[in-house]
Amino acid sequence: MSDQRFRHLKDIPSTHIFGSGTPACAGCGGLEVIHQLYEVLGEKTVFINAAGCMTLLSIYPFTPFRGSWLYTAMASAPAGAQGVRDALDILLEQGRIEPSENLTTVVLTGDGSAYGMGLSATSGAIERGLDFIYLCYDNEGYGNTGQQYSEATPHGAKTSTSTGPRGYPGYKKSIFDIWIAGHPAYAATVIGAEPLDLARKIDKAMQFKGPKMITALSPCPTGWGFDPKESVEIGELAVKTGVWPLKEYVDGKVIHTKVPRKRLPVEEYLKRQGRFAHLFNPSRHESTLNEIQQRIDRYWEQVE
């Protein structure tokens, strides 16, 4: 398996095929990833879009996609992808379309569907060995309906439904771990602030047949409370503090593609976001801050 197609940043496509001027929020980290994924996959791609923030990408009669797009209920995108894939395979088998007309099947979903109500359909698709790419833009909440907490919300973050003095009391699930328990063809974590790592992983995913998952931490200026121009910086801090490990699952093994040997304190990431402001003002919640830091340290101690 080779990742030689993208050895340097200059190897990443410079021609953008995803249209500009969408109704998505300025600085959307999810949109940044979709741009990059689409440019690597190319126009012969069909997106099956679970209801969520990216519903805004196709409001009739306008769309930034050059090709096909199918909209489904929040929990049904993998089932929709099964139908699309089956139809394409039948057309190919019957010779009604040429192999050059085949489309890469991509489920596009937010964390609300991925971590929660869509898990049943996803688990079934993995079990059946459906040949598709599953892209989760994870903005750690139900962003399109006012940033209610989801099962991806991090501990301590304030959301519109986690308004207590210490924010969300629960802990973020690992959709990566849930996926690899099903032994997919490929799985990876990415972030738009690391475009070369992202391009290599999407290119690698395309080399496998079967279920492939790409989950992208997606800084959300609207829901997280920061200036849209800081999206890339917030993403970089997520990697440098160890909050968001960049890794992939290949041939039954988990490999970290970037290990932050000199990690920044997690405070450097948290204090830049309004959703964590209550942990610093009017006084510091030391116990919560220490707990968040210790959980990150324990993760990386196991890796290193």
Residue 220: give its domain's CATH number: 3.40.50.970
Highest mean pLDDT among 117-121, 162-166, 271-275: 271-275
Contact 121, 74 (CB under 8 A): no
Determine, yes or no, domain membership for 170. Answer: yes
**R_g over Cα of the chain:** 19
Q: What's the pLDDT tens digit per position in 185-244?
A: 999 999 999 999 999 999 999 999 999 999 999 999 999 999 999 999 999 999 999 999
Determine, yes or no, domain membership for 265. Answer: yes
* Mean pLDDT to the nearest integer, 271-277: 98
What string of DSSP letters covers 111-177? HHIIIIITHHHHHHHHHHT--EEEEEEE-SSBGGGT-B--TTPPTT--BTTB-STT---S----HHH
Q: Which of 237, 251, 199 is nearest to 6 (CA)?
A: 199
Determine, yes or no, domain membership for 2. Answer: no
Q: Which of 244, 64, 7, 211 is nearest to 126 (CA)?
A: 211
Determine, yes or no, domain membership for 3. Answer: no
Total domains, the chain? 1
pLDDT band of residue 4 (cuts 50, 70, 90) is: confident
Determine, yes or no, domain membership for 257. Answer: yes
Q: What's the pLDDT tens digit per position in 22-77?
A: 889 999 999 999 999 999 999 999 999 999 999 988 888 888 998 899 999 999 99
* Sign, CA torsion 1/135/40/245: negative
* Mean pLDDT to the nearest integer, 123-132: 97
Q: CB neighbours (10 Å) of residue 116?
A: 15
Determine, yes or no, domain membership for 58. Answer: yes
What confidence score (pLDDT) does residue 2 get?
53
Rounded to two decimals, the pTM is 0.95
- For residue 297, give its domain range: 9-301
